[in-house]
Structure 1
């Protein structure tokens, strides 16, 4: 497998694929990034809104994906930006490659031909880097996206150490991880997060970690120990 990192402005991708496509991937990243950046320049509310927005029918594909995922999850469109980039670049690579993993700030798109393990980082929780998902080829393509109220620079209004969402849409998984994470507050935070997850159509399942507690809902890949 070829392994490389690609960075353009505020987006950094880690890519694993079976072919050397680095230059083509970089061009594709820049293409979508510039479309999004130009759209935001004309529509600054798209960047700032914490609520779903209605967009024009002729908006760029990246904008449409972000807006649709945000609407389904009930959050602002930028909540899905990292997962949307992973999805777009992942599908671009799949035109020329059978195996692809794209990671963008903890949001992962993967299509694989052999079993893989994806670990979960959850800050100072006892579960951090000790559990993960065993992903079988037939379960992919798949989006695996994680949001945290205690780790990282992304905005979360909740108190989770990690909320990991599984969906066929990496864009939706990202938006949903934020939406669910925002609900994880207080003693019954995990239960509140799961109730939110039940309301989002299109996600397969969620794994929530808050301090020394963990909750799961839906159809998840096999959860295993990674140590």
Structure 2
């Protein structure tokens, strides 16, 4: 772990919530929040689907919590978990994502829940955006721009990732060592990973972020991310420095200078 004196303390969640939750806005969609125990989602859809989203959150949490009751170590391990064929689907997705990225399965939980809820809501809405703690599942018929939130970095919310075609669904998952309370061994202001799997993007962002303790490690962190099967693109921000690789189109955000 890096010495706390080397970098500013993490931004508390209440200071950054308004900023990061404004990252994705799709014109014409209805926005609503779904809170269920520790899960806190911001959802956009063709219409309000609070009940449907909450029901799917409960399904996800029930499967994950049930598995943890049987295998308590699943909740705390920082190492890849052995595959188990009888595990619930969302748990298997977390296991596979953690194994691919070389981290524990809980590193993929926020992304896995976001995608599970998003795909369920596609039964009721043509367009869906689900954000879960900085991890975003997107399935829309038109382009979407997601702002890049990077805490105190001067690059934060100056640029956005343009998703011209989400296809069957795409994930933009972000990990940070300086924002909020997420567990990270690094100090990058933001590591954003693009993938068709939200669980994988979440786990990969954590794994890459663990390797970046200063701007000097940006190149090595991105090189590591390139080796993770299923990762389509990576953006890393550390202070005033940024590194980009893969299927990523950065665009300036309107009203932002710099």
Alignment of 1:183 onto 2:243: no
* 1:50 alignment partner in structure 2: 78
The match for 1:79 among 90, 100, 107 is: 107
Matches within 5 A, 1:137-156: 137-139=165-167, 141-156=169-184
Cα shift at 1:124:
1.1
Cα shift at 1:25:
1.5
Cα shift at 1:140:
5.5
Q: Tell me the TM-score normalized by structure 1.
A: 0.96
* 1:12 alignment partner in structure 2: 40
Superposed CA RMSD: 1.2
Alignment of 1:224 onto 2:251: yes
* 2:188 alignment partner in structure 1: 160
Task: Return closer, same or farther for 1:186/1:15 CA change in 2, 3 Å cut-off.
Answer: closer
The match for 2:60 among 10, 17, 32 is: 32
* 1:123 alignment partner in structure 2: 151
Unaligned runs of 5+ residues in structure 2 are 1-28
Cα shift at 1:114:
2.1
* 1:62 alignment partner in structure 2: 90
| Aligned pairs, number | 226
Cα shift at 1:186:
3.9
SS at match of 1:15: strand
Q: Where do 4+ consecutive residues of structure 1 move more than 4 Å?
A: none
Cα shift at 1:128:
0.5
Q: Tell me the TM-score normalized by structure 2.
A: 0.85
* 1:212 alignment partner in structure 2: 240
Distance 1:72 1:57 in 2: 17
SS at match of 2:222: helix
Cα shift at 1:138:
5.0
Task: Return closer, same or farther for 1:57/1:213 CA change in 2, 3 Å cut-off.
Answer: same
